[in-house]
Amino acid sequence: PPELPKALAIINPKLKDSSDYSVENLAGVGVAFKLAQAIYKTFLPEKMGQLKWLLDLVAIGTVADMVPLIGENRILVKYGLLVLSKTRRIGLQELFKTGRIFIDESNVPDTQKISFQIAPRINSASRMSHAEDALKLLSENNRVSARTMSLELENQNSRRQKETTQVSAEAEVIVKKSFLNKKFIFIAKEHFPIGTVGLVAGKIANKFNKPTAILKKGEVESKGSFRSIPQINIIDLIEKTGDLLEAYGGHSQAAGITIKNENLKKFYEKLNRLIEEELEGKNLSPEIEIDQELKIEDIDMCLVADLKKMEPFGQGNKEPIFVIRNLLVEDLKWLGNGEKHLKLFLRSANTNNPNILEAIGFNLSGKFSDLKVGDEIDLVFNLSKDDWNGNEKIQMKIIDLRLRNK
Residue 16 has pLDDT above 80, yes or no: no
- Residue 328 CA to residue 359 CA, distance in Å, equals 12
Global confidence as pTM: 0.85
Residue 251 falls within a domain, yes or no? yes
Residue 21 has pLDDT above 70, yes or no: no
Residue 392 falls within a domain, yes or no? yes
Residue 4 falls within a domain, yes or no? no
Please enumerate, as own/partner, the contacts of 307-313 that have beta carbons within 8 Å and a separation of 24 or more. Answer: 307/383, 307/384, 308/385, 311/78, 311/110, 311/111, 312/63, 312/69, 312/74, 312/77, 312/78, 312/81, 312/110, 312/111, 313/69, 313/110, 313/111, 313/112
The reply to whether 58 and 150 lie within a common domain is yes
C-beta of residue 231 within 8 angstroms of C-beta of residue 266: no
C-beta of residue 379 within 8 angstroms of C-beta of residue 359: yes
For residues 34-43, give the mean pLDDT: 95
For residues 140-161, give the mean pLDDT: 97
The reply to whether 203 and 104 lie within a common domain is no
The reply to whether 121 and 239 lie within a common domain is no
Residue 371 falls within a domain, yes or no? yes
The reply to whether 115 and 228 lie within a common domain is no
Q: What percent of the chain has pLDDT over 70?
A: 97
The reply to whether 297 and 346 lie within a common domain is yes
- Residue 163 CA to residue 20 CA, distance in Å, equals 47
Q: Are strands 341-348 and 322-335 parallel, antiparallel or unpaired?
A: antiparallel
Residue 11's pLDDT band (boundaries 50, 70, 90)? confident
| Element of type H or E holding 219 | none
Question: How confident is the model at residue 286, as a pLDDT?
Answer: 80
Q: At what angle do helices 28-43 and 55-64 cross, to 10 degrees?
A: 150
Q: Are strands 247-250 and 221-227 parallel, antiparallel or unpaired?
A: unpaired
| Length of the chain counted residue by residue | 406
For residues 350-372, give the mean pLDDT: 86
CA 33 to chain centre: 22
Encode pLDDT of 250-279 as tens digits.
Answer: 888 899 999 999 999 999 999 999 999 999
Q: What is the CATH number of the domain that holds 321?
A: 2.40.50.460
C-beta of residue 58 within 8 angstroms of C-beta of residue 29: yes
Encode pLDDT of 385-398 as tens digits.
Answer: 887 666 778 999 99
Residue 23 has pLDDT above 90, yes or no: no
The reply to whether 273 and 313 lie within a common domain is no
Looking at 254, 279, 304, the residue that finishes a domain is: 279
For residues 25-45, give the mean pLDDT: 94
Encode pLDDT of 46-58 as tens digits.
Answer: 999 999 999 999 9
> Could you check whether the bond before residue 312 is cis, i.e. omega within 30 degrees of 0?
yes
Question: How confident is the model at residue 66, as a pLDDT?
Answer: 86
Cα–Cα distances in angstroms (integers) from residue 112 to residues 54, 311, 388, in the given order:
20, 11, 15
Residue 300 falls within a domain, yes or no? yes
Q: What is the CATH number of the domain that holds 142?
A: 3.90.1640.30
The helix/strand/coil state of 126 is helix
Residue 171 falls within a domain, yes or no? no
Residue 4's pLDDT band (boundaries 50, 70, 90)? confident
The reply to whether 145 and 85 lie within a common domain is yes
Residue 405's pLDDT band (boundaries 50, 70, 90)? confident
The helix/strand/coil state of 87 is coil
Burial 37-69 (b: 16+ CB within 10 A, else e): eeebeeeeeeeeeebeebbbbbbbbbbbbbbeb
Residue 50 falls within a domain, yes or no? yes
- Residue 175 CA to residue 204 CA, distance in Å, equals 9
Question: How confident is the model at residue 397, as a pLDDT?
Answer: 96
The reply to whether 58 and 144 lie within a common domain is yes
Question: How confident is the model at residue 100, as a pLDDT?
Answer: 94
Question: How confident is the model at residue 255, as a pLDDT?
Answer: 94
Total structural domains within the chain: 3
- Residue 149 CA to residue 147 CA, distance in Å, equals 5
For residues 131-153, give the mean pLDDT: 97
The reply to whether 228 and 345 lie within a common domain is no
**DSSP-derived secondary structure letter, 190:** T
Q: How many helices and strands (H and E) does the chain possess? A: 12, 11
Cα–Cα distances in angstroms (integers) from residue 226 to residues 223, 247, 328, 358, in the given order:
10, 14, 41, 36
Residue 380 falls within a domain, yes or no? yes
Q: What is the CATH number of the domain that holds 192?
A: 3.10.310.30
The reply to whether 272 and 315 lie within a common domain is no
Question: How confident is the model at residue 20, as a pLDDT?
Answer: 60
Residue 211's pLDDT band (boundaries 50, 70, 90)? very high
- Residue 383 CA to residue 110 CA, distance in Å, equals 13
Looking at 279, 312, 336, the residue that finishes a domain is: 279
Question: How confident is the model at residue 406, as a pLDDT?
Answer: 63
Spell out the residues 6+ positions from residue 192 whose beta carbon is closer than 8 angstroms to its own.
167, 200, 214, 215, 216, 217
Looking at 226, 253, 279, the residue that finishes a domain is: 279
Question: How confident is the model at residue 86, as a pLDDT?
Answer: 97
The reply to whether 41 and 149 lie within a common domain is yes
Short-list 346, 372, 350, CA closest to 359: 346
Average pLDDT for the chain: 92
The reply to whether 209 and 309 lie within a common domain is no
Expressed in angstroms, the distance from the first to the final Cα of the chain is 57
Domain that holds residue 329: 292-403
